[in-house]
Amino acid sequence: MNVPSQATLWNGPAAQAWIDAQETIDQLFQPLEALLVETLAAQNAAKRVLDVGCGTGGTTLALARVPGRDRDCVGIDVSAPMLAVARARAERAGVPASFVCADAENHTFTPASFDLIVSRFGVMFFGDPARAFANLRRAAAPHAAMRCIVWRSAAENPFMTTAERAAAPLLPDLPARPVDGPGQFSFADASRVREILERSDWQDIDIQPIDVTCRMPEPALSTYVARLGPVGIALREVDESTRSEVLRTVRAAFAPFVEGAEVQFQAACWLLNARAR
């Protein structure tokens, strides 16, 4: 099974799957979003904020809602379909946020234009992370802060790999997770992440482990399994009989995470903090 590029992946069916599951995903990761919103609230002087890998814009909109005068919140992502949803959400809510369809790794930002750069699971997918963070560094104003939340290892996040582990016997061509990326767990090694940030000319680097409880309604689990992640991608290419068998098997494997009407798990992440020189 061929592994698509990030731009191809997030401008195809994977983007539509995330759009369809937008409410569930926003609810699931709201506690992590709150940590980024707290950063802006604590640095209320920040007038220009960049949200990297913003997707359908949930975090960008939450940042834009933080009280403060004349603040400009900008989301950037490679996914045109997801950004179309983000723009529509901002317009409906009357929230002053804007969105750029581009790859933050090589986009030509106005130099020294952002006072705060944040990301919720958006920076692990760069082809060349050192180049990407150097580009973000150039976009950062002097002494600007950066705060990103990324996943720790797959072993520390069993919920995130339950579907593929359960489906593996039925989907022998399921691609393996990349070790160093781009991918969900490419920032699992904190020493590697620190080296990347140092090479990219960031300073005051602080990497702290955080474990956050995430929840979603139990009925949403079926869509989560069928549409998202490596299994969701693989299921688009199989016959209906295989699809049904995979879904039954995988759904049963999530039983340890179901508590009544709710699915609950611990998200094991790194909280990355750094400052522009």
Closest Cα partner for 148 from 77, 53, 219, 226? 53
Residue 159: both structure tokens together: 């919920």
Dihedrals φ, ψ of 69, to 5°? Answer: -90, 140
Residue 273: both structure tokens together: 């903090």
* Cβ(233)–Cβ(183) below 8 Å: no
Which amino acid, one-letter code, is at 4?
P
Other C-beta atoms lying within 10 Å of the C-beta of residue 271: 18
Tell me what pLDDT residue 70 has.
81
Tell me what pLDDT residue 1 has.
44
Q: Which residue has the tokens 């004349």?
A: 70
Closest Cα partner for 156 from 35, 28, 270? 270
Which amino acid, one-letter code, is at 72?
D
E-strand ranges in the chain read 48-52, 72-77, 97-101, 114-120, 140-151, 202-217, 258-259, 262-276
Domain 6-153+178-214+266-276 fold: Rossmann fold (3.40.50)
CA distances from 176 to 2, 5, 131, 159 (A): 11, 15, 25, 16
Tell me what pLDDT residue 37 has.
94
Residue 238: both structure tokens together: 């199989």
* Digit-coded pLDDT (tens) for 11-59: 988 899 999 999 999 999 999 999 999 988 887 788 999 999 999 999 9
Which residues of the chain fall below pLDDT 50?
A: 1
Tell me what pLDDT residue 4 has.
63
Closest Cα partner for 123 from 114, 110, 132? 132
CA distances from 4 to 56, 80, 125, 194 (A): 20, 16, 12, 28
* Digit-coded pLDDT (tens) for 90-118: 999 999 999 999 999 999 999 999 999 99
Interatomic CA distance for residues 121 and 77, integer angstroms = 12
Tell me what pLDDT residue 3 has.
54
